[in-house]
Amino acid sequence: MAAVTDTVEFEQHRLQVRPQPLRLRSGSKRQGIIFASPPSPEPSIQSSDPCSEKAELELRPVDRGLGAWKFLFAAFMIEGFMFDYYSTHAPLAGNTNLSTIGTFGTCFYFLGAPIATYLIRRYRRWHRQTIWTGFFISIVGLGAAGWAEDFVSLLATQGFTFGVGILVMAYPIFNMMNEWFVERRGLALGVICASTGITGLFIPFVLNFLLHKYGPANTLRLSALALLLLCGPCLPLLKPRLPTSHNDTVPAADYSFLKMPLFYCFSLAQLLQGLGFYLPTIYLPSYAISMGLSGTMGALLLVIASFAQVLGQMAFGCVSDMRVKRLWIDGRVPVHILLFVSTFISGISIFALWGPARSQGMLIAFATVYGMSAGGFAVLWARM
């Protein structure tokens, strides 16, 4: 029995993993022999969700790949046709109070940003469901507006319901964009923002045609159907890049930026720029008519400004992603320089081109310069 016990103990001792000796290089401060444990296998990203069928997940690449470009295409379509609806649709009747509907709906998109940002950060695994819910809320609100018989009903459907749907749908998309694009985030945001300028090239003319041929009620119903057919198929393409699970932990919110003076400088700059950004495009058609130009020319000026905005947003987005190591320490163009270029050129164009404009050519020049310079400001939000 003793022999058997000794044999077992010997086999157990022989099967133990011996540490492998490693010698330090002669140039090291310490020389000699150290022992290291056997190399551990390469860690893999595992899903903490017990219901997941796959034990290992491989993250898709950022700034490239089919998944990133499919997401960007879907965001481009939704931003162009859904988020820009209020800035492109024509008045539905002669009631002057109808202009309040667009303002009432748009306020949800901006004033609800703090609450929406917190919720999408807290419940990240529900991003896709949130987008689908917001999409159908907005479609129902816009379609129901076609049966509204008074101003209050129109405000509740096209203003409140459609605006809330846009709020619910918008911010999860922007949060996903930050997952898919890092180094080329400026370009991605430029493409998404430029979509509103592209749709602005033809949507006003389409809506004006529908209003004259089918009337306001049918135009609203057809608009809801068109958004459903154009943007609905794009929703499955909006997928997060990072895996989610029911056990996701939310890190504590960091409010240290409230102590930074630069935060208040950027906030004030965005507030002042937002107050004046839409005024030239709102009054440019009526200003052209007051000069004796036709209404068609006024609409054409908006088309020119929209096309120039597309070029400007794409250009500012690309420049914000560029790395020029010989000029700046981190290689990127400082964001405050790009902000100054955008606001300075757009401001000068108002005083130098729009103010003294007495001809059609001056208005075209103003629409081009202002659209390219002022439109690029929103693209720089990703760098602030």
The tally of CA atoms less than 13 A away on the side-chain side of residue 153 is 9
Residue with tokens 């090291």: 28
Q: Which residues pair with 77 in a beta bridge?
A: none
Instruction: Please say if the pLDDT value at position 91 is more than 80.
Output: no
Confidence of residue 13 (pLDDT cuts 50, 70, 90): very low
| Angle at 95 (CA atoms; ends 92, 101), nearest 5 degrees | 65
- List, for residues 102-132, the tens digit of each pLDDT value: 677 777 777 888 888 888 888 888 889 999 9
Crossing angle (nearest 10°) for helices 99-111 and 162-180 = 40
Per-residue model confidence (pLDDT) at position 250: 62
- List, for residues 35-86, the tens digit of each pLDDT value: 333 443 433 344 444 444 443 347 788 888 898 999 999 999 998 887 766 5
| Higher-confidence position of 88 and 241 | 241
Give the separation between CA 365 and CA 15, rounded to whole angstroms.
Answer: 84
CA dihedral 192, 331, 337, 305 (to 10 degrees): -30
Per-residue model confidence (pLDDT) at position 213: 87
- Nearby residues of 195 by Cβ (< 8 Å), 6 or more positions away: 76, 77, 79, 80, 84
Give the separation between CA 127 and CA 108, rounded to whole angstroms.
Answer: 19
- The structure tokens listed for 293 are 């130009």
Please report which residue ranges of the chain form alpha helices under DSSP H. Answer: 2-15, 66-78, 85-88, 99-111, 113-122, 127-144, 151-154, 162-180, 185-199, 203-231, 261-277, 279-290, 295-321, 335-349, 360-374
> Which of 290, 305, 291 has its CA nearest to residue 365?
305
Per-residue model confidence (pLDDT) at position 56: 37
Instruction: Please say if the pLDDT value at position 242 is more than 90.
Output: no
User: Do the beta carbons of residue 145 and residue 157 sit within 8 Å?
Assistant: yes
- The structure tokens listed for 143 are 């379609």
> pTM of the predicted model, to two decimals?
0.72
Instruction: Please say if the pLDDT value at position 10 is more than 80.
Output: no
CA dihedral 58, 63, 69, 71 (to 10 degrees): 70
User: Do the beta carbons of residue 221 and residue 144 sit within 8 Å?
Assistant: no
For 20, the enclosing helix (H) or strand (E) is: strand 20-23
- Nearby residues of 372 by Cβ (< 8 Å), 6 or more positions away: 308, 309, 311, 312, 315
- List, for residues 159-184, the tens digit of each pLDDT value: 888 888 888 998 899 889 988 998 88
Mean pLDDT of 210-217: 84
| Angle at 40 (CA atoms; ends 37, 42), nearest 5 degrees | 155
Mean pLDDT of 320-341: 77
Give the separation between CA 109 and CA 83, rounded to whole angstroms.
Answer: 9
Return phi, psi of residue 33, to 5°.
-115, 130
- The structure tokens listed for 276 are 């004046």
Instruction: Please say if the pLDDT value at position 20 is more than 50.
Output: no
Give the separation between CA 290 and CA 284, rounded to whole angstroms.
Answer: 10
- List, for residues 252-281, the tens digit of each pLDDT value: 667 788 888 888 888 888 888 888 888 888
User: Do the beta carbons of residue 336 and residue 261 sit within 8 Å?
Assistant: no
